[in-house]
Amino acid sequence: MAEQREHGAAGWDWPVEHQLVEGDRNGLGAWLQYGLFRAAVGVFARLPAAGRRALSRVVGELAMRLDRKRSRYAAEFIAQALPHSSRAERDALVLAAWRHLIEFSLEDVRFNDCVLGPKLMEHFEVELSDDVRRLLAEGGGALAITPHVGVWEALPALWARLHSGPVYVVARPPRNRPLSRFIQASREARGFRVLHRHGAVESLTRVVQGGGVVGLLLDQRARGKTMLAPFFGRPAHCERSVPLIARRLRRPMFFAACYRTARPFHYRVVASRVMWPDELARCSPEALLGEINREMERMILAAPQQYFWLHERYRNAPAAAQA
């Protein structure tokens, strides 16, 4: 694993000590699986952009046929989000989701070599609202919200460059332990640290109170103690703790998305909305979840072909009529 910095570029300390965010599957089978993954992505990630696109189409079409269950979930999700779409348009977006997942994964393997360094900002077109610029200028702790759209793994690397304090993200590791360690080392080489999803409430509280930014991906189905809130017009299980923490911390919450462009390793980042502490305090937890979901919907619809539609978003949630 890459050596961890004890202090940031501006001299701050990490508010939460380094954590191992690793899976629970180890042993020979896990290492074989990990070795095959590293070998495959190591070869395919070296393909030129046209080759990666061709590969993603072939593998994506194969995945649609083999994993019909997940593809059906995606089609149902798309129909909910885009009720006026045709069957052909929904099928095209399902394929686009598979293709984006493949191309995203291959590009992410080479992100550190191709993007990190003194020319990092040349890889980003950054569109920041006046509110976001004010937030960055003032510094201090904040929560950053993004959905699984575009290149969400690139965002923390950018915030680590733009923000004056430490940057963390909350993540659930893959079950494969050697793979989870490889992914964590790759992520943290980008200048931020990873917090385990379990026990994240205490950790992210310390980070934000210590002047850091914590990135949260909140568009997938929450588990455990949840709260129902509309997502694209249908009730969905959402993280109950997030609105409670946001109101208690009295720190800003902002929304950002990072989209792929036609150029390899070149991204467009859009950050427009900030919810300041006074606004957060006026919202009930239910109303705040609704606002969070609406902002994520907006970011997803800006580039639906780059969204991870393959998640079973409405599982175990009531239909709209029942709710």
Q: Which DSSP letter does residue 307 get? A: B
Instruction: Quote the CA–CA distance of 170 and 186 in Å, as a whole number.
Output: 15
In a domain, 17, yes or no: no
Query: What are the tokens at 47?
Result: 């393909």
Residue 119 has pLDDT above 60, yes or no: yes
What are 135-151's pLDDT values in tens digits? 999 999 999 999 999 99
In a domain, 22, yes or no: no
What are 271-295's pLDDT values in tens digits? 999 999 999 999 999 999 999 999 9
**What radius of gyration do the chain's Cα atoms show?**
19
Residue 250 has pLDDT above 70, yes or no: yes
In a domain, 77, yes or no: yes
Instruction: Quote the CA–CA distance of 64 and 60 in Å, as a whole number.
Output: 6
Place of tokens 């979901």: 293
In a domain, 290, yes or no: yes
In a domain, 84, yes or no: yes
- The stretch 81-85 carries a mean pLDDT of 96
pLDDT of the residue at 7:
42
Helix residue spans in the chain (DSSP H): 28-44, 49-66, 68-81, 87-109, 111-115, 130-138, 155-162, 177-188, 200-209, 241-249, 277-282, 285-301
Name which of 35, 45, 43 is nearest 178 in CA terms.
35
In a domain, 138, yes or no: yes
Contact 267, 258 (CB under 8 A): yes
Q: What domain range is 123 assigned to?
A: 28-306
When divided into structural domains, the chain yields a total of: 1
Contact 184, 231 (CB under 8 A): no
225 contacts: CB under 8 Å, gap ≥ 6: 240, 241
In a domain, 242, yes or no: yes
Least trusted range by pLDDT, from 1-5, 86-90, 297-301, 309-313: 1-5
